[in-house]
Each structure stands twice: as C-alpha cells, then as structure tokens.
Structure 1
C-alpha cells in the first residue's frame, strides 16, 4: 500500500476511534510517518460535554478525562499501526491544546534509535532552539542531561529531552501521583514556552506547542506545529 493510502486509512481510523470514544471526533486528522516518529494531528476536536467545561474554563478536568481514555486507546492505536503501516511503536506521547481545539499523538517507532535520530537532526537554528529549551527547563525543573531535535517535515519540529526530573517529582511518581504531576507540568511548561521566541528563531509561525513525558524513563518530547508552506497543508 502506498504511503498516502496508509496515512489516509490511519486518519480515517483515528477519527472514528475518537468519535466512538469521545462522542465527537476531530473534524480533520493528519497522519505523517517520518522515521523515527509517527505523528497524528487532530483539528477541531472538542466533545459536546467538554464545551461546558470550556465555558467554565475548567481545562484541567478535560485533560484529566482525556488522559484516562487515552490509556485505554493507546494499545489499540499501536495494534492498528502494526497491522496497517507495518511498524511497531515503542511508546505514544500525546497532548492537547483545548483553546485551539487541537491535539497531537507522537508515536516512537521501535526499530529506530538515537543514533539514527541524530543523523537527520541538523538544521540551522538547532542550537538556538536547544538553548531556549534548556533555559525553560532550568526554570521549570532543571537543565536536561541531553537535548536533541529534528524536523520531521516542514511543519513539525520534535525536541527530545532526557534527564529532567528533580527528586521531588520522582517522589511524586513513586507515590502514585503521576497524573497530578503530568497535569501540573503540562500547564507550567507550556506556559513558559513562548511561541513568539521560537517564531523569531525559526522564522515561521508557531501554530501549536505540545508536551508529554515518559516519567519511567525520564524522557520528554516537545513538538512544534509550524505554519504550513503549502495551501493544502494543515
């Protein structure tokens, strides 16, 4: 099956999966498979019940509910990617922009490794992007032990951080407060990631910024969705 057909099939599947489980699916879904990642970008995604919570500005309740549902959906998404696209996914990261009614899923393809990521990661603004990410991380928790990044395509920039958790966060995780930590860090870090700063560095408009963590491995991914260059792009 051609790549475009696979992406279209995965987009259709994702829209139906979210519609069946959330009561309303996204208006549009964009799938991109660019090793070592699979990205699934959702637009105009807000369930009817969530609209009430938005009016009340109770965004964290929406995120908490979605996070619970995603734990049930992730195994099914992994299985579908394995059957449809013939790829194995090590982990799926996800985040939401409730105000923009968007969301992003980032799947890490199992057979790829960090060395392959580094070989495709060079771009002119790389060090300046890393400097800003390190600056934000220092303010939020501590400087990462390692930072890497790459453009998946002209509209998607992924930044990986390793070794960012401080001891109090690790204790929260050991004590079973993972979801509370995730919600708090999501709000804190995204509030500190200034789109204007990265627009100046990259020379492109930033449409969305998404952040997620694997607390067990002390890894985080920050994904920038940039203004498309083609009229038919999202």
Structure 2
C-alpha cells in the first residue's frame, strides 16, 4: 500500500469515527478502512450507544435498525462528499449493515458502473470462489431467485465482498411499488442472514477461514445486493 493511500485510509477512518460519534452520541471503538477500487469497505467495531444497549437487552432490534436507517440516510451525502475529496472516489452506490449482538457494522461504497465492476471482478481469484458463488446462488434461489450475476472481490485477506445483481421477483417489485420497501428489506435481511449464519461452517470450509461477521444490504431500485464477510484467515 502506498503512503498516500494509507494516509487517505487513516483520514477516512478518523472522519467516520467522528461523524458517527456526533450523530449517535457514541462512535465505534475501531474503524478499519479498506480500498480496492472501485470498492471501499469500512468495518466498524464496538459500535453501540448506551441507549441502544438497553434496547438490545429488551430485544428491540427493529427499533435500533429503524433509527440507524434514518440517521444513515441523512449522513450518506456528507460521507460521499468526504470520500470524493479525500480518496477521489465518486461513490455511486452506498450500502450498510449492522450485527448488533457483535456491536459491529459495515459501510460499503461502489464508485463505478456494472460493466466496469464485473470486468474487474472476473480477474479476481481466490480460494473457494466458485464454490462460494454456488452457495450464494442456492441461498438466493431459496428466498427469491438465482441472481442474474454474482461477482466478488477479496478486498484484503480479511474482507470479502460479494455483489449480486438481478434478485427481485415480481412480488418483491410490487411491494416496493406499494411503498413497503423497508418491510421487504427487513424480511430479506432476516431470511438471508439466517441462511448465511446457518451455513457458516460450510462457508468457513470453502474459504479456509474463520468468519467473524457477515453483513448484507440491498438497493432494490438497482436490483442489487451486497454481502460482506469479515474473515480471520487460517495460518
């Protein structure tokens, strides 16, 4: 990693921590920024406010997720502007998710169009890629349908990003048209992350790595979805 890239990542990490602390009253203890253009993945650890801890103890996960969604929507324009100034990345898509029981989270930005991303990712090889794509395809098919396209990138040895395109079926599209996008996302998140966690051991064998966290988010208007696997590679 060159010096300028490392400096940009440190500046972004510091800014993200400060921004979230101002917005939520408590920022993450650790912020890890990984850039592999056209992707940026920001992993947050120990990120849960005192109020959220109380709500979590009372199993009010939906309340926490709803509040965070509202806050994040207000922060994303500022985040995109900062990333453009400090990394030169013009973020077109932005995703985020939380694993509240682990007090962790992830923010993902993608700066380019599908053709560029697909072409770049086809060249990205890592152990277990084909088997992982098959497993993701099966999970997608059980819940909605097989994706039109799956591509993935090992951002670094601890961060694996998977992008799916073309997963919505007619009922999902109709729910979005009727204004039930948030409900659809909650249902998708619960179902898909349950499948991901149930298959955790299988994924770990495929990747030859312990999985610390799994995140998922969707952009229904683009009919796209991302998974992020945070790994602890085997020695």
TM-score range, shorter chain: over 0.9
Structure 1 portions without partners, runs of 5+: none
Across the two proteins, how many residue pairs are aligned to each other? 230
Taking a change above 3 Å as real, the CA distance of residues 228 and 203 of structure 1, as seen in their structure-2 partners, is closer
Q: Which residue of 2 aligns with 1:140?
A: 143
Q: Which residue of 2 aligns with 1:37?
A: 39
CA contact (8 A) 2:210 2:234 kept: no
User: C-alpha separation between the residues in 2 aligned to 1:228 and 1:62?
Assistant: 31
- Asked if 1:90 corresponds to 2:57, the answer is no
Q: Which residue of 2 aligns with 1:163?
A: 166
Aligned counterparts, 1:1-234, within 5 A: 2-110=4-112, 113-193=116-196, 194-227=199-232
| TM-score, with length taken from structure 1 | 0.94
User: C-alpha separation between the residues in 1 aligned to 2:42 and 2:14?
Assistant: 11
User: C-alpha separation between the residues in 2 aligned to 1:90 and 1:62?
Assistant: 26
User: C-alpha separation between the residues in 1 aligned to 2:147 and 2:52?
Assistant: 35
User: C-alpha separation between the residues in 1 aligned to 2:6 and 2:150?
Assistant: 31
Quote how far apart the aligned CAs of 1:178 are.
Answer: 1.1
> Where do 4+ consecutive residues of structure 1 move more than 3 Å?
none
Q: Higher helix proportion, which one?
A: 2
| TM-score, with length taken from structure 2 | 0.93
Structure 2 portions without partners, runs of 5+: none
